[in-house]
Amino acid sequence: MVSGQVRRTVRIRDGRTSTKTLRGGGPDGDAEEFAVLDRVGRLQLPDDHLRRYGRRHRVRLTADDDHIGVRPDA
């Protein structure tokens, strides 16, 4: 209930900041979740994304012109 009243929510997993949710000021309460990069470039993907796509161990990264892709390792 409290998280719906604030503009920013930070999620901590394994002692590290993993995601940040920013809510807009509009009437529909739009929110966008961001993965947070740490000082050395590591990020934690949200658990629901890992479960949804069945990722648990390794992933393959692709460097495209406008984004970084995360793909299965096989």
Neighbours of 19 (CB within 10 A): 19
pTM for this entry: 0.59
- Please give the tally of structural domains in the chain: 1
Q: Which residues pair with 62 in a beta bridge?
A: 69
Establish how many alpha carbons lie within 13 A of residue 24's alpha carbon, considering only the half-sphere containing its beta carbon. Answer: 7
Q: In terms of residue numbers, what domain contains 28?
A: 2-72
- The pLDDT value recorded for residue 63 is 94
Answer yes or no: are the C-beta atoms of 44 and 33 closer than 8 Å.
no
How confident is the model over 8-65, as pLDDT tens digits? 888 888 888 888 888 875 556 688 888 888 888 888 888 888 888 887 788 889 999 9
